[in-house]
Amino acid sequence: MDWSRFRFIDLFAGIGGIRLGFESVGGICVFSSEFDEDACKTYEANFGEHPAGDIAKIAAQDLPDFDILLGGFPCQAFSIIGKKEGFANETCGTLFFDIERILKAKRPPAFMLENVRNLAAHDGGRTFHVIRSHLESLGYHVHAKVLNALDYGVPQKRERIIIVGFLENVPFRFPEPVPEVQRKSLRDILEIDVDEKYYVRPKIRELRLKRLKAKDFPKPYISYENMAKSVTPHAYSSALRAGASANYILINDERRPTEREMLRLQGFPDSFRIVVPYTKIRHQCGNSVAVPMIAAVAKSMLEALRLHECRDSSYEVCMAWTA
C-alpha cells in the first residue's frame, strides 16, 4: 500500500485537532463524526464538511472504507476531575464500544485513540485492561503510552494516553520528544495589544497576586489556582480544560488568554478560523488535542507501517516509500 496517501476516519472529531495531525503526514479524511453541534460549526468552517452526528447511531457498514481509525473518545468518564465512572457511565464511557464495533466490522490496518492520562489508572487499572483486552481480542497489536504536549513543541503541560494498534505486528515506537530549540515558548504564542475585555477586574488580580507562590517569577507566565488554593506560576500553561472557570488560567495574573492564544497552546495554525463565541472556543480548546503531538504520533505510525511493508517488497519500492 502507498502510505503517502492513506484514508482515515475522524471519530469524536471535536474541532479537528487529530485530523490536522494526520493530514500533516498525507492522510485523507473520508468520514468524520461529532455529537456537539457547536464543535461541528468550527469543524465545518475549517474543513468544509459538517461531521455526521452521534456515531452510536451510525451503522459500521454505512462507513466508507478506510485505513486508519482515529478517535479521541469522550474522556469525562475517566477524568481525574470528573466523576470517574468509567464504563458505568452509559453516555460517555461505553462509547469505546462503538470504536470496537467499527474495528470489528471494517478491520482497518491501524487505529489511534486518545484519552486522558487517568484512563490508565482508572479503577485500579481495570478499565484500561478491559479496553486493551477488547482491542487485542480483535487481533490488534496494541501499544500505549502517556505523552506530554510540552515535549512536542507547545507551551502547555497536557498529558494524554495514546493507544495505537496494528492488525499486523508492526515494529512501532512512540515518537521521541523534540529538541528544546524546536519548542515554542509562551512569548512565541502570546498576542500583542490585547483588547481590554480579556483583562480581569482589579479585585481578582489583587486576590491572585496575594496567593502567588513565586512573586518574582519572570514574565510572561501563566498561573492557575491549584487544589490548595495557592496560585502557581509557570513558563507554560497547565492543561486547558473544557469545564474550567473563566479565570482558571491567567497570563501574568492580569488577563485571560485570547481565543487565538488558546488555539496556539494546542498547536493549531493561525489560519484556523474562529466562528463561535469566546466561551465556546474555550470549551472546544479544552476538549481538543495538541496537534503537534498527534502529528508526531502520526509520523511514527506511518514510518512503522512503511518499514513493515518493506519486508515484503522489492528494494526499489522500499526506497521509494521511505524516501
pLDDT tens for each residue of 85-137:
545 543 344 688 899 999 999 999 999 999 999 888 877 888 888 889 989 99
pLDDT score for 129: 86
HSE of 196, CA atoms in CB hemisphere, 13 A: 2
Cβ proximity of 133 and 117 under 8 Å: no
Whether the CA torsion 41, 46, 52, 55 is positive or negative: it is: negative
- Phi/psi region, residue 215 (left: phi>0; alpha: psi -120 to 50; beta: rest), is alpha
Residue 185, amino acid: S
C-alpha 60/C-alpha 62 separation (Å) is: 5
pLDDT score for 320: 58
pLDDT score for 92: 44
Query: Where are the domains positioned within the chain?
Result: 7-181+287-322, 192-257
Whether the CA torsion 285, 85, 80, 198 is positive or negative: it is: positive
Could you say which DSSP state residue 33 is in?
A: B
Cα dihedral 163/164/168/170 (nearest 10): -120
pLDDT score for 75: 54
The segments of the chain whose pLDDT lies below 50 read: 79-82, 84, 86, 89-93, 315
Q: pTM of the predicted model, to two decimals?
A: 0.91
Q: Which residues are catalytic?
A: 75
Q: Which helix (H) or strand (E) holds 31?
A: strand 28-32
The two counts, helices (H) then strands (E), for the chain are: 10, 9
pLDDT score for 318: 61
- Residue bearing cell 521509494: 320
- Phi/psi region, residue 240 (left: phi>0; alpha: psi -120 to 50; beta: rest), is beta
pLDDT score for 74: 73
Per-residue three-class SS string for 190-201: CCCCCCHHHECC
Q: Which three cell numbers stand for residue 129?
A: 485492561
Pick the CATH number of 7-181+287-322 from 2.60.40.10, 3.40.50.11540, 3.40.47.10, 3.40.50.150: 3.40.50.150
HSE of 223, CA atoms in CB hemisphere, 13 A: 25
pLDDT score for 279: 96
pLDDT score for 162: 97
The CA radius of gyration of the chain, in Å to the nearest whole number, is: 20
pLDDT score for 90: 36
